[in-house]
Amino acid sequence: MEYIIGAFIKAFSLIFNLDQELIAIIILSFKVSGGALIIATFAGLPMGAMTGLKRFRGRGIIISILNTFMGLPPVVVGLFVYLILSRSGPLGFMALLYSPTAMIIAQCILAFPIVASLCHSAIISVDPIIKQASMALGATPLQVTATIVKEARYGIISGIMAALGRVMAEVGAILIVGGNIAGYTRVMTTTIALETDKGNFELALALGIILLTISLIINSALHLIQKKGMVEANRWV
């Protein structure tokens, strides 16, 4: 028990002393997950909007695939990206394996279906009368789409936050494609796994505490957004 308490004390000391290694790992984690989330949002939001607003052949299949891929196992994504980026893979010539870029690609694949699928759900839940109302006021098709997306904003933000939660806590994919190289591809989750293996609990615990805090902040924000959306929805008369 004593060594656990000792590890906690050292972990808090690392956090409060702003340990350089710790800070570097946190910054890289945000860069990788943030980058992946931005790309996934730019790709996922139009996809969600398209499946939510347009009727076209194959729409149902796309929605089913997106819903299925929301639960993609990270290690499978890691394996897939590894095969693509490995020296003998189709994109091996780009030499991206074991780089932050490879980690961003892997996390992007994990985040994209979450963003797209939850954006789709948010958009289809907007009252269809909004479309008619904006058209009746003289909106162009693009302005109608923008209006509907704006009305779905709380659901869309929830989807983006959920994707952020997923990629921040993910370890399987980035461990495979990033290689956990100190100072280059070592992020919070992979460091926790490595340091625990080595029996070096201080840094692992410090990162665990920070990761939990981030997760708590994301979930609290998600809860607040959903609550705000629900309160406003209940005001409909």
Contacting residues toward another protein, per CB under 8 A: 127, 129-130, 132-140, 143, 147, 150-151, 232, 235-237
Residue whose CB is less far from another protein, 151 or 195 = 151
Least distance from C-beta 147 to another protein, angstroms?
Answer: 7
What does the DSSP assignment read for the chain? -HHHHHHHHHHHHHHHTT-HHHHHHHHHHHHHHHHHHHHHHHHHHHHHHHHHH---TTHHHHHHHHHHHTT--HHHHHHHHHHHHSTTSTTGGG--TTSHHHHHHHHHHHHHHHHHHHHHHHHHTS-THHHHHHHHTT--HHHHHHHHHHHTHHHHHHHHHHHHHHHHT--HHHHHHHTT-TTTT--HHHHHHHHHHHT-HHHHHHHHHHHHHHHHHHHHHHHHHHHHHHHHHHT--
Residue whose CB is less far from another protein, 52 or 78 = 52
Least distance from C-beta 140 to another protein, angstroms?
Answer: 6
Least distance from C-beta 121 to another protein, angstroms?
Answer: 17
Least distance from C-beta 145 to another protein, angstroms?
Answer: 12
Residue whose CB is less far from another protein, 121 or 189 = 121
Least distance from C-beta 131 to another protein, angstroms?
Answer: 8
Residue whose CB is less far from another protein, 138 or 183 = 138
Residue whose CB is less far from another protein, 58 or 138 = 138
